[in-house]
Amino acid sequence: MTYNVQIKVMPLKDLLDPQGKAVLGGLQNLGVKSVNDVRVGKHITLQIDAASEAEAKQVAEEASKKLLANPVMEFYEIELVN
Amino acid sequence: MTYNVQIKVMPLKDLLDPQGKAVLGGLQNLGVKSVNDVRVGKHITLQIDAASEAEAKQVAEEASKKLLANPVMEFYEIELVN
């Protein structure tokens, strides 16, 4: 079966996020004043062929560890859709 | 009150996603063979000062339209957390 897995990769909470700061500045210049904080990360959707939900999650975990997230600067969250 | 809003910005389904294709190739080179398709987008979290959930969503909508998403190539989804 094909599973749809969504992975969110975000900069660690304790680290500065320059891209988020830039977006925050941009929003304020555009007149959107009520935004206090912005953080920008990656959203990755994978289509995985697997026998079970657990196997699909395991593949997503492996992909995150091997390629998608850099644990020094980022954390990731895996979510199974459908 | 401060609301936590998550925005997912992804390439439109009908468009090629070169970054996703590169990640797919990388995963296959690393031996993760059961992944069929990869799409890569942005995940943005905003902290918004607003009087109500509806107002927070409206601010997020405005931010997405003005700055975060390019409607020619991307679609976005807004989700309120907490």
Across the range A1-25, mean pLDDT stands at 96
ipTM, two decimals, is 0.91
Q: Which ranges constitute the DSSP H helices of chain A?
A: 18-29, 53-63
Asked if CATH classification 3.30.830.10 holds for the domain at B2-81, the reply, yes or no, is no
C-beta atoms of B49 and A43 within 8 A: no
Residue pLDDT, tens place only, A26-40: 999 999 999 999 999
Buried b / exposed e across B46-60, counting CB within 10 Å, b at 16+? bbbebeeeeebbebb
Give contacts of B46 with chain A, Cβ < 8 Å: 35, 37-38
| Mean pLDDT score across all residues of chain A | 96
Locate the domains of chain A by residue range: 2-81
Is pLDDT of B3 > 80?
yes
Neighbour count for residue B75 (Cβ, 10 Å):
15
Confidence of residue A6 (pLDDT cuts 50, 70, 90): very high
pLDDT value for B69: 97
Residue A82 has pLDDT above 80, yes or no: no
Q: What is the pLDDT of residue B56?
A: 96
Place of tokens 């970054």: B19
Q: What is the dihedral of CA B81, A48, A41, B10, to 10 degrees?
A: -80
Contact with chain B for residue A29, Cβ under 8 A: no
Nearest CA in chain A to B28: A63
Percent of chain B exceeding pLDDT 70 equals 100
Q: What share of chain A is helix, strand, coil (3-state, %, to 5)?
A: 35, 40, 25
Q: What is the pLDDT of residue B2?
A: 95
CB-based contacts of B67, cutoff 8 Å, min separation 6: A23, A26, A27, A30, A32
Q: How confident is the model at residue B82 (pLDDT cuts 50, 70, 90)?
A: confident
- Tell whether the model's pLDDT for residue B40 goes beyond 90: yes
